[in-house]
Amino acid sequence: MNISRPTAALALLTATLAAAIPAQAAEQSGSAPISAYTLVAPRSTAASGLVVRAVMPAGAACPEVEVARQRNGNVRFERVAMRERTAPTTTYPAFSSILVCSAHLPVDVIGASVAGRPVPAALPAVVDEVAMVSDTGCRIASFEVQDCSSPDAWPLAAISQAIADDEPDVALVVGDFYYREAACPPTAQAMCGSSPPPVTGLPFTDSAYGWIADVLLPMAPLLSSVPLVMVRGNHEACNRGGNGYFLLLDPRDGTEDACAPVPGDTGLVAAATVPTGTYAIDLAVAPGRTLRLAVVDSAGGSDTRVTSFTSLQRPAYQRAADLTRSRPGRESWLLTHRPVYGYVTTQFAVPDAPFNPWTSADQTASSEGLLGSFEMVLSSHIHIAQAVRLPGLPSQLVLGNGGTQLDPAIGYPLPGTPPTAGYPVPDWAWVAPRFGYAIATPQADAGAWRISMRDPAGEQFARCGLRDASLYCVDAT
């Protein structure tokens, strides 16, 4: 948390703002929001770099955002209209139970509220705590069911509260929000009996009720407390949770229909999962020092082999490289869901078949030769915490331990072969198959960060350091 912020004053202002207008806000909307949150957006979308979303019950009207703006030492209260972010007609009726509203926050905002509910209003002038968490949803599939009723087996709510209690300046969530891809089996009702099933007859698995159960309710403490950088994961592919992701979490205007089903020979079919445009987010770390986050959509492609998908994916990494060209005072992280070079447990090996531990193959090939401007690659996808170092390349940090059922706790020997031709053999790695999140704090030297790995109770279980694009991690004692 940036202790230089006037935290108490802003809290008082926000509370005053919220208390002053709930009656009017409720009258405008006809209902309280199901959820309200702030997304970090590229400056090409919003000049302030922030957009506010409100998820309302169907039949409500979009509320206004009440903001307090400070100019020349004076505070002025204003209202900002929210516009509907319309679900594609080909997704009906999966999202017909909600109304999603969106607004760009103006610059110079120091407090904001939606229908009486405070939302994060600004990024601080100096960011000194960055939260990182991913792979958060509760798995319900035809082949596997996680115990969504157990806070130990699915600790997302506790993790969200722990992050909120840490009061970071921004949170990075690099994909795989949605895991409710099947109806709860009759034999598992005690674990997931109340989970919303997919809507019959649609070529995707998510729904408004599913997003409420998997994301909006358990992540409420995090959603309401910190601006969020959201990245699409493979569980947000167009045949899975992509429609809800673009409706609710993608920060850019006009992306609501990016996964809209299209007509096929026998009815609607899922849209192709293709990379959306790469963009950059800048966070001021210190005077003259900026952290640039390049966001690459890696929802598609193969984990196990290089395919023709690389021709679609490579331009996204090329754009990331272009956006992060070396510049005095700037350091860069690559944010993408699938690891560029992460590795999985040997327990996933298929008997009598060649085993390649590296994942994800299409991303590894697509990014080859384009990673030289990055200090770190942040991803998830593998359901563990992991750090991997390849000589001459930015270290890979994998945080796929945000609540989704963990991968096995044994069987992670350091691979003795490179991820693919053109890459070196790794010289170090660290693996922790346990739930949690991370808090990154910048150090005095440019490019240097301390990273604290924390469990769902907020207790540190490992400490890591990043310097000169090289990570190290040690278990806490």
Cβ 179 vs Cβ 137: under 8 Å? yes
pLDDT score at 435: 98
Cβ 31 vs Cβ 56: under 8 Å? yes
Dig out the tokens for 11 from the structure. Answer: 């809290």
pLDDT score at 30: 58
Residue 339 sits in the same domain as residue 404: yes
Residue 21 sits in the same domain as residue 161: no
Last residue of a domain, one of 89, 118, 147: 118
Q: Would you say residue 1 lies in a domain?
A: no
Cβ 198 vs Cβ 205: under 8 Å? yes
Residue 343 sits in the same domain as residue 292: yes
**Helix ranges (DSSP H) in 130-254:** 156-166, 189-192, 208-211, 220-223, 242-248
Q: 319-373 pLDDT, tens per residue?
A: 999 999 999 999 999 999 999 999 999 999 988 888 999 999 999 999 999 999 9
Q: Would you say residue 366 lies in a domain?
A: yes
pLDDT score at 15: 43
Phi/psi region, residue 394 (left: phi>0; alpha: psi -120 to 50; beta: rest), is: beta
Residue 109 sits in the same domain as residue 178: no
Q: What does pTM read for this prediction?
A: 0.94
Q: How far is it, in rounded angstroms, from Cα 204 to Cα 265? A: 17
pLDDT score at 18: 42
Residue 27 sits in the same domain as residue 73: yes
Question: Would you call 19 helix, strand, or coil by DSSP?
Answer: helix
Q: Would you say residue 123 lies in a domain?
A: no
Dig out the tokens for 102 from the structure. Answer: 């969106």
Residue 112 sits in the same domain as residue 236: no
Q: Would you say residue 124 lies in a domain?
A: no
Q: 387-426 pLDDT, tens per residue?
A: 999 999 999 999 999 999 999 999 999 999 999 989 999 9
Point out the residues of the chain with pLDDT beneath 50: 1-29
- Of 293, 321, 302, residue with least CA distance to 234: 302
Last residue of a domain, one of 83, 118, 153: 118
Last residue of a domain, one of 118, 150, 170: 118
Map tokens 């319900």 to a residue.
140
Give the bridge partners for 74, in sequence order.
Answer: 71
Q: Would you say residue 125 lies in a domain?
A: no
Using alpha carbons, list the distances in angstroms from residue 111 to 77, 169, 233: 9, 15, 31
Classify burial at 448, counting beta carbons within 10 Å of its beta carbon; exposed 0-12, middle 13-18, buried 19 or more: middle
Give the β-pairing of 50-57 and 35-40.
Answer: antiparallel
CB atoms under 10 Å from CB of 75, counted, come to 13
Q: Would you say residue 236 lies in a domain?
A: yes
Q: Would you say residue 2 lies in a domain?
A: no
Structural domains in the chain (count): 2
Q: 236-275 pLDDT, tens per residue?
A: 999 999 999 999 999 999 999 999 999 999 899 999 999 9
Residue 137 sits in the same domain as residue 222: yes
- Helix, strand and coil percent figures for the chain, each rounded to 5: 20, 30, 50
Whole domain around residue 33: which residue ranges?
7-118
Give the bridge partners for 267, in sequence order.
Answer: 264
Q: Is the dihedral of CA 222, 227, 232, 238 positive or negative?
A: positive
Residue 201 sits in the same domain as residue 149: yes
CATH number at residue 366: 3.60.21.10
Residue 260 sits in the same domain as residue 380: yes
Burial 239-251 (b: 16+ CB within 10 A, else e): bbbbbbbbbbbbb
